[in-house]
Structure 1
């Protein structure tokens, strides 16, 4: 698969731009300043340590972009680095899909920055990359992220047990998705126009209840 061009996307004071190796130091400062806020949602490696190595992380993201399966972005507000958004697992052909992950600094949470960034990235993937489906998986406890998919109208698709290694443990996730047919005029425009359908991101009660209890594992 050829390398993908990571674009620069803008909406008002918000900019999504390609991540660069020289972002390592400023990114590390924001991550360390928000350690308590972000640690509970941070993807980790089974058996790995907890040290932050931003330079290696950036090089890994750029390698995935060169391989054609990722779009790694920095989120900026008025030119200031406030977070990251990564489009990953880009697949073309009969699947034509990708996944989105993101984080923002606590000081800018709740200001519409994350949903705007997610909408910009999704619209780019649908319109320019011609992908058909975008997915976001969220921990049941991550209320701020659940609000993002509610605002944008990502449709709830199901409960995934012990899906991603987060903060040192295998964690359950709720899965949400959009396909191009649902947003013919774009995700950002539909949200801004107040035309997001109600309750499409609603998690069914059975899955809410299941997420409140860890999976019973067999005796070994």
Structure 2
């Protein structure tokens, strides 16, 4: 299993991040500050380093340790953002969580749902994980559309769950287990069979966007 080899669907692909990606990723992050800041994880202990080279090295070390898979998302061969599979647990849990960001200039091209589908299929088929989770702020309408398109199942509201943009934020949790998508997440979506109603948030959990 070589995750440096791109997994592709049309013009969209994901591959393992490389150290030499650090410069272009940092440029994208810096030029997209207003676009990304509302959704970026922060630290309650104060500002953290914005050294992307160091960040990539840490992500690759986590990958070597079996704790995560840091992907780059590309569109027509151009870096469009990142998708990280993190918190990999083996054994009886066999699960992980997906997080991502995409540059504003690539928004609306289907990059995020396609990349999430590709990554989830890699985790189920190649890493043999059983459950994949995505947690999304109620205000993040674009990300809520991603899980709706792919048929991720709503699992509940997590109060003040992750420190985002300077404070602890509520998140909605969505998940899939391998048995729900025997044909694969990407083929199910591409064939029009993903159940969009699976991501429906019940009225009792709805928060103002």
Contact 2:150 2:196 in 1 (8 A): no
Where 2:85 maps in the other structure, the secondary structure is strand
Deviation at 1:101, TM superposition (A): 0.3
Instruction: Specify which of 1, 6, 10 is matched with residue 3 of structure 2.
Output: 6
Task: Tell me the residue number matched to 1:197.
Answer: 195
Instruction: Specify which of 105, 109, 112 is matched with residue 111 of structure 1.
Output: 109
Separation of aligned partners in 1, 2:54 and 2:3: 19
Contact 2:156 2:173 in 1 (8 A): yes
Task: Tell me the residue number matched to 2:62.
Answer: 64
Separation of aligned partners in 1, 2:54 and 2:171: 26
Task: Tell me the residue number matched to 2:74.
Answer: 76
Contact 2:139 2:208 in 1 (8 A): no
Give the alignment of 1:172-211 within 5 angstroms. 172-208=170-206, 211=207
Give the alignment of 1:21-36 within 5 angstroms. 21-36=19-34
Higher radius of gyration, 1 or 2: 1
Give the alignment of 1:114-153 within 5 angstroms. 114-153=112-151
Where 1:140 maps in the other structure, the secondary structure is coil
Deviation at 1:6, TM superposition (A): 3.1
Instruction: Specify which of 161, 164, 183 is matched with residue 162 of structure 2.
Output: 164
Q: CA RMSD in A?
A: 1.5
- The runs of 5 or more residues in structure 2 that have no matched partner are none
Task: Tell me the residue number matched to 1:52.
Answer: 50
